[in-house]
A and B are shown apart, each in its own frame.
Chain A
Amino acid sequence: MVIMSETDVVVVRGLSKSYGGRRVVDGLDLEVAAGEIVGLIGANGAGKTTTVECVQGLRRPDAGWLRVLGLDPATQGERLRGLVGSQLQSSGLPDRLRVGEALQLFAGRRDEMLLEEFGLGGRERGAFASLSGGERQRLFLVLALVNRPRLVILDELTQGLDPSARRGVWAAIDQLRTEGTAVLLVTHELEEAERLCDRVVAMRSGRVLDAGSPAELVDRHGAWATVSFSVPPGSPAVVSPERLGRLPGVREVSSHGGRMNVRGERRAIAHVGAALVEIGWVPPDLSVKVPSLDDALVDLLERAGPNEVAAGVAENTVQPEPIGANR
């Protein structure tokens, strides 16, 4: 028996799904709370889309325990889908359906304010086929949000959007969080995950490699921070690799072509800076490179073997009870 808290919108335990003998989701655990944005990231074939399809009740799991808004997606999928807003990968609308008609069809009403908010004001009579890629994505988002759902599932949210449109969509998603809506975001865009997500779940081969806030994942898997500066001839002798190498958090010091590179944990940045200030010499070309979520997860996804699953990802959970195999 899995215990759900009042704020839990999605709880998944031990989800497994296979297609033709190939297991695409393998014992996955996942939670999304109200007002939380959780990102599923991973390479193609990691099982992200299958996971959200099971959460929505579009696919039946082979095994696992799922509750979404208190409902079992496998047996109460139709009821559940009316409560969830979704923007799914590889889904479209009829070419000749107009924007206003799409809203009428999916929501039973027109919402000119929402169309305006997403830059579709004045396009109400435009046919779906006449919309640009960005306009289509924004329309899908409008359709996902129009009924003010408590859970929104967004698969490849900003694919095909220009930078300006992308920022507009991100602002809208941020707004959802403040309204208490739970968002499950499937993305390849790690910048998007870092910008939007409270928690990120990194997947590979249907399993969770690690999960945590973007900052936690960067701390755990990010490459070392690097402080670089030029050391012209005649610089104070105290700026030696040996001295820098003794500073807290510093792991490696190298010098190439008159440039010093100090690599280490993020705290090393402060210690190197303090050491330079202490000796009264601040290099004019000092630069700092801090690892991003992108760096951290590329490293994690490339490094991890298929059986390498983070421990403690689903702490405080109870053994799942299966909902039945191959139904």
Chain B
Amino acid sequence: MSTAMGRLVRAELKLMVREPLTLIFVFVFPVVTMLIIGGSFGTKPSDAFDGANPSQWYVASYLTVVIAATGLIMIPVHLASYRERGVLRRFAAAGFGRWSFALAEAVTGLVAIAGGSAVLLAVAAPVYGLPPLHHPVAVMTGFALGAVAFVAIGVLLGTVLPSARSAQALGMVLFFPSFLLGAGGPPPNAMGSVLRSIAGYLPLSRVTDAVREPWLGIAPATGSLAVVATLAVVATVVAARRSRLVTSAGR
């Protein structure tokens, strides 16, 4: 990895694992909350959980908590802090290509999601067991498209928000409702109608549906998968346009 892009990716990966916010939100928070809530409803299949074992229902849901933490907190805060502190300006002045930083961020985000998910599954396996994959291709597709969509959203937020503090504030505001209503909180069947309607509009809910339902064999979730695919394409195009503008001028 001797190209500028390769050097940038390698540096960003090193910095990622040195960043406490990343370690906590991407690697620790999903595991701890999964362990707590996954053990709160027992293992007996329930209608509230679409007939699935609640613990395994949460294991299948929590991969998308990693995705949300990466896209709504890690990347925006990281990118906004780079812009605020003039790091992008230095990269631009040093001749890094206009796409190289955005691509390095995307690669770093996807690696963080892969790493955080691996840690989550490694902890879940001995505690709650991993539910069998009913439709592995659909699950992998939903997971991959969801990861791309949220990484793109993260890049977009990071190139729009003016400071790390504002990115952190907005990231928290977006992350926690998404987490509670769209992945790690009560199951939709246990929510009131208003909350369930709100949850249905959240991007993270659609990503979670696209992963969890084919995983547990609840439904193919093709509607959610289509929404997630559309979101991935739109978010990537908008983020790429914004990144080009920001990184070419180092702002």
Contacts from A to B (Cβ < 8 Å):
56, 58-59, 77-78, 80-84, 86, 88, 90-94, 96-97, 101, 104-106, 108, 143
Expressed in whole angstroms, the minimum distance between the Cβ of A105 and any Cβ of chain B is 5
* CB–CB B11/A93 < 8 A: no
* CB–CB A105/B11 < 8 A: yes
* CB–CB A93/B87 < 8 A: yes
Residue B173 lies at the interface, judged by CB distance under 8 Å to chain A? no
* CB–CB A143/B94 < 8 A: yes
Among the listed A83, A84, A86, A97, which residue makes an inter-chain contact with B15, where contact means beta carbons less than 8 Å apart?
A: A97
Residues 158-199 of B, flagged 1 when their CB comes within 8 A of A and 0 if not, give: 000000000000000000000000000000000000000000
- A283 and B228 CA atoms in complex are apart in Å by 91
Q: Which of A83, A84, A97 has the most CB of B within 10 A?
A: A97
Residue B241 lies at the interface, judged by CB distance under 8 Å to chain A? no
* CB–CB A90/B14 < 8 A: no
* CB–CB B98/A96 < 8 A: no
The residues in B between 94 and 120 inclusive whose CB is less than 8 angstroms from any CB of A are 94-95, 97-98
Q: Contacts A78-B95, A81-B92, A96-B19: A101 and B85 contacting too (C-beta < 8 A)?
A: no
| A contact residues around B87 at 8 Å (CB) | 91-94
| A contact residues around B19 at 8 Å (CB) | 96
Residue B18 lies at the interface, judged by CB distance under 8 Å to chain A? yes
Nearest B residue to A89, CB-CB = B86
Interface size for chain B: under 10, 10 to 19, 20 to 34, or 35 or more residues? Answer: 20 to 34
Q: Which of B4, B8, B85, B97 has the most CB of A within 10 A?
A: B85
Query: Is the contact region of chain B dominated by helix, strand, or loop, or is it mixed?
Result: helix
- A84 and B85 CA atoms in complex are apart in Å by 22
- A288 and B4 CA atoms in complex are apart in Å by 56
Q: Contacts A59-B249, A91-B86, A94-B82: A81 and B15 contacting too (C-beta < 8 A)?
A: no
Nearest B residue to A79, CB-CB = B95
Among the listed B14, B82, B89, B98, which residue makes an inter-chain contact with A78, where contact means beta carbons less than 8 Å apart?
A: B98
| A contact residues around B18 at 8 Å (CB) | 96
- A83 and B95 CA atoms in complex are apart in Å by 8
Residue B90 lies at the interface, judged by CB distance under 8 Å to chain A? yes
Residue B2 lies at the interface, judged by CB distance under 8 Å to chain A? yes
- A88 and B88 CA atoms in complex are apart in Å by 11
* CB–CB B93/A91 < 8 A: yes
Expressed in whole angstroms, the minimum distance between the Cβ of A56 and any Cβ of chain B is 6
Among the listed A90, A96, A97, A105, which residue makes an inter-chain contact with B89, where contact means beta carbons less than 8 Å apart?
A: A90
- A81 and B198 CA atoms in complex are apart in Å by 48
- A82 and B94 CA atoms in complex are apart in Å by 6
Among the listed A78, A82, A83, A104, which residue makes an inter-chain contact with B7, where contact means beta carbons less than 8 Å apart?
A: A104
* CB–CB B93/A92 < 8 A: no
| B contact residues around A108 at 8 Å (CB) | 2, 4, 7
Expressed in whole angstroms, the minimum distance between the Cβ of A300 and any Cβ of chain B is 30
- A105 and B4 CA atoms in complex are apart in Å by 7
Nearest B residue to A60, CB-CB = B249
Nearest B residue to A109, CB-CB = B2
- A56 and B95 CA atoms in complex are apart in Å by 10
- A102 and B22 CA atoms in complex are apart in Å by 21
Expressed in whole angstroms, the minimum distance between the Cβ of B204 and any Cβ of chain A is 28
Q: Contacts A104-B7, A108-B2, A108-B7: A81 and B86 contacting too (C-beta < 8 A)?
A: no
| B contact residues around A84 at 8 Å (CB) | 93, 95
The residues in B between 1 and 16 inclusive whose CB is less than 8 angstroms from any CB of A are 2, 4, 7-8, 11, 14-15
